[in-house]
């Protein structure tokens, strides 16, 4: 089998079905021939998702789809690892369930990987609903880059963007990422200590340590609706946690200290702004972010 597409579902069953429908629209031949498979991991949604997905898969006669009912809400990395364990494909494609696949570009991604054994993983282009590109590739979060990102300068494309040509990059988004299954298993998959966010950066960092490259492939269209399974406060707090974890794992201790100072400084500035502007969201969000250091 050539490709296993792995989707996570958490209380977004309708989006998951829409995503699978788009995959069948573009890859019906490969799915029915057994060249591709789709694996859905439900992260203990507790909203009837498993029953709903089971019913829809059976009704639509999607024989290439496997549904795994997880016994815990394991987060992104651990959930993806579970799907990878059950997969049969030579390549794995991790795909957000709030996406719509608009063309057959994954075939080109497979061809690209086939002809370049030194490439460990490959990111695909994701788009907004108006077809403008979403930033899906970036530079590793060295201290200078982290500072730019945390103070909003990523909006100028200095940290992450969507290249217009095939290009070697530091990391690609886990929302549309193709990897070699054997290498993914060899380096231990996604780090399960990261619940959500930054796990794709960590994975690409470990691919680099293993001597393999990460590339971005723009000749695929995946519309990303951005209606996933987390809110903004959750995202900010987990990005804080992820950055600290990433630095403790991969960078010298003095840089961990500098990062901690930068993170705390941003949080305290925004708490002050929140108090001055009576913005309860800013206060509560960044007080929660600061709590990870206590």
- In angstroms, the CA 119 to CA 172 distance is 13
209 and 239 fall within a common domain: no
17 and 145 fall within a common domain: yes
Which residues of the chain are under the pLDDT cut of 50?
Answer: none
219 and 243 fall within a common domain: no
103 and 220 fall within a common domain: yes
Q: What is the structure's pLDDT at 18?
A: 97
220 and 251 fall within a common domain: no
125 and 25 fall within a common domain: yes
Q: Report residue 171 as tokens.
A: 């990391």
Q: What is the structure's pLDDT at 157?
A: 67
Boundary (domain end) residue, out of 176, 193, 224: 224
What is the DSSP secondary-structure string of 188-232? TSS-TT--SSSHHHHHHHHHHHTT-EEEEEEEEEEEE----S--H
135 and 258 fall within a common domain: no
74 and 142 fall within a common domain: yes
Q: What is the structure's pLDDT at 186?
A: 95
- In angstroms, the CA 207 to CA 250 distance is 13
Pairing of strands 119-127, 176-180: antiparallel
Integer angstrom CA distances of residue 187 from 57, 63, 177, 180, 252? 33, 31, 16, 11, 21
Q: CATH number, domain at 33?
A: 3.90.550.10
Partners of 94 in the beta sheet?
A: 6, 177
Q: Which domain holds residue 185?
A: 3-224
Q: What is the structure's pLDDT at 172?
A: 97
Boundary (domain end) residue, out of 170, 191, 224: 224
194 and 278 fall within a common domain: no
Total number of domains in the chain: 2
Q: What is the structure's pLDDT at 149?
A: 81
191 and 279 fall within a common domain: no
What Rg, from alpha-carbon coordinates, does the chain have?
19
155 and 128 fall within a common domain: yes
* Cβ–Cβ < 8 Å for 97, 174: no
Q: What is the structure's pLDDT at 230?
A: 60
- In angstroms, the CA 220 to CA 47 distance is 33
* Cβ–Cβ < 8 Å for 207, 121: yes
Q: What is the structure's pLDDT at 158?
A: 73
286 and 208 fall within a common domain: no
Boundary (domain end) residue, out of 199, 224, 249: 224
Partners of 7 in the beta sheet?
A: 40
Q: Which long-range contacts (CB under 8 A, 24 or more apart) does 193-196 make?
A: 193/245, 194/75, 194/76, 194/77, 194/241, 194/242, 194/245, 195/75, 195/76, 195/77, 195/78, 195/238, 195/241, 196/75, 196/76, 196/77, 196/230, 196/234, 196/235, 196/238
């Amino acid at each position: 089998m050539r490709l296993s597409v792995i989707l996570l579902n958490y209380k977004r069953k309708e989006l998951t079905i829409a995503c699978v429908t788009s995959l069948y629209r573009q890859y019906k031949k490969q799915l029915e021939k057994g060249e591709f498979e789709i694996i859905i991991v439900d992260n203990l949604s507790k909203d009837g998702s498993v029953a709903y997905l089971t019913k829809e898969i059976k009704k639509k006669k999607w024989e290439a789809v496997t549904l795994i009912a997880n016994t815990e809400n394991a987060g992104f990395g651990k959930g993806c690892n579970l799907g990878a364990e059950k997969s049969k494909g030579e390549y794995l494609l991790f795909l957000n369930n709030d996406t719509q696949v608009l063309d057959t570009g994954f075939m080109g991604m497979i061809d690209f990987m086939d002809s370049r054994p030194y490439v460990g993983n490959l990111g695909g282009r994701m788009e907004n609903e108006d077809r403008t590109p979403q930033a899906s590739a970036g530079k590793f979060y060295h201290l200078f880059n982290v500072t730019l990102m945390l103070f909003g300068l990523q909006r100028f494309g200095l940290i992450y963007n969507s290249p217009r040509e095939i290009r070697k990059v530091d990391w690609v988004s886990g929302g549309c990422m193709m990897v070699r299954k054997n290498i993914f298993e060899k380096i231990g998959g996604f780090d399960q200590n990261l619940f959500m966010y930054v796990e794709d950066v960590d994975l690409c960092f470990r691919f680099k340590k293993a001597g393999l490259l990460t590339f971005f492939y723009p000749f695929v269209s995946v519309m990303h609706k951005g209606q996933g399974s987390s809110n903004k406060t959750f995202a900010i707090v987990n990005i804080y946690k992820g950055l600290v974890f990433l630095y403790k794992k991969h960078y010298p201790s003095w840089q961990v200290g500098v990062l901690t100072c930068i993170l705390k400084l941003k949080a305290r500035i925004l708490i002050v702004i929140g108090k001055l502007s009576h913005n309860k969201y800013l206060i509560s969000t960044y007080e929660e972010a600061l709590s990870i250091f206590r």
